[in-house]
Structure 1
Amino acid sequence: MTEPGAVTRSLLAIPGNGTDSSTWAGQICAACIDGLDIDGAALSVLSGSTARRTLCASGPVAERLEELQFSLNEGVCMEAAATGRPVLVPDLREATEAARWPLFAAAVAERTTVTALFALPLQCGVINLGVIDLHRNRAGALSPQQQRDALDATETATELMLGMHGAPRPPAGGPAPQWLDTPAGSRTEVHQATGVVLAQLGISAVDALARLRGYAFAHDRLMGDVARDVIDRRLAFTDDMS
Structure 2
Amino acid sequence: MDDSDLAGSLLAALPVSGVSVATMGGLLRTETVSASDPVAARLDELQFDLGEGPCWDAVSERRPVFEANLRIAPRRTWPAFSRALLDHDAVEALHAFPLLLGPLALGAMELWCDRPGDLPDASARRASALAGQVSRHLLRRAVSDVADDQAEEVRVDKYSRRRIHQATGIVLAQADLSAEDAELLLQGHAFAQGVPMREVADAVLDGRLSFASGADGIVER
Q: Under a length normalisation based on structure 1, what TM-score does the superposition of the two structures give?
A: 0.57
Supply the AA of the counterpart residue of 1:151: S
The two structures, once aligned, show a CA RMSD in angstroms of: 2.5
| Structure-2 change in CA distance of 1:106 and 1:47 (3 Å) | closer
Q: In the TM superposition, what is the alpha-carbon distance from 1:60 to its structure 2 partner?
A: 1.4
Match 2:185 to one of 143, 164, 170:
170
Equivalence for 2:211: none
Match 1:55 to one of 14, 22, 33:
33
Quote the Cα distance in structure 2 between the aligned partners of 1:117 and 1:177. 32
Mapped contact 1:61–1:112 kept (Cα < 8 A): no
Please list every run of 5 or more consecutive structure 1 residues that lacks an aligned counterpart in the other structure: 1-13, 15-23, 180-242
CA displacement 1:95-148 (0-9 Å, x = unmatched)? 442x52132122112334101111111101111012111101110111111111
Q: In the TM superposition, what is the alpha-carbon distance from 1:169 to its structure 2 partner?
A: 2.4
CA displacement 1:135-168 (0-9 Å, x = unmatched)? 0111011111111111111112222233344454
2:40 is the counterpart of 1:66: no
Equivalence for 2:80: 103
Mapped contact 2:95–2:110 kept (Cα < 8 A): yes
Quote the Cα distance in structure 1 between the aligned partners of 2:189 and 2:138. 16
Equivalence for 1:30: 8
Quote the Cα distance in structure 2 between the aligned partners of 1:176 and 1:160. 17
Secondary structure, aligned partner of 1:145: helix
Match 1:81 to one of 59, 65, 69:
59
| Structure-2 change in CA distance of 1:51 and 1:156 (3 Å) | closer
Supply the AA of the counterpart residue of 2:127: A
Question: Which residues of 2 match residues 223-242 of structure 1 at below 5 A?
Answer: none
Mapped contact 1:129–1:176 kept (Cα < 8 A): no
Which has the higher mean CA deviation after the structures are superposed, 126-135 or 50-59? 50-59
Moved beyond 4 Å, runs of 4+: none
Supply the AA of the counterpart residue of 1:40: G
Please list every run of 5 or more consecutive structure 2 residues that lacks an aligned counterpart in the other structure: 148-182, 194-221
Secondary structure, aligned partner of 1:55: strand
For these two proteins, the number of residue pairs brought into alignment is 154
Supply the AA of the counterpart residue of 1:71: D
Which has the higher mean CA deviation after the structures are superposed, 26-35 or 79-88? 26-35
Question: Which residues of 2 match residues 13-28 of structure 1 at below 5 A?
Answer: 14=1, 24-28=2-6
Q: In the TM superposition, what is the alpha-carbon distance from 1:35 to its structure 2 partner?
A: 1.4
Equivalence for 2:113: 136
Mapped contact 1:44–1:132 kept (Cα < 8 A): yes
Quote the Cα distance in structure 1 between the aligned partners of 2:190 and 2:19. 23
Equivalence for 1:113: 90
Question: Which residues of 2 match residues 208-223 of structure 1 at below 5 A?
Answer: none
Secondary structure, aligned partner of 1:146: helix
Q: Under a length normalisation based on structure 2, what TM-score does the superposition of the two structures give?
A: 0.61
Mapped contact 1:48–1:176 kept (Cα < 8 A): no
| Structure-2 change in CA distance of 1:107 and 1:158 (3 Å) | same
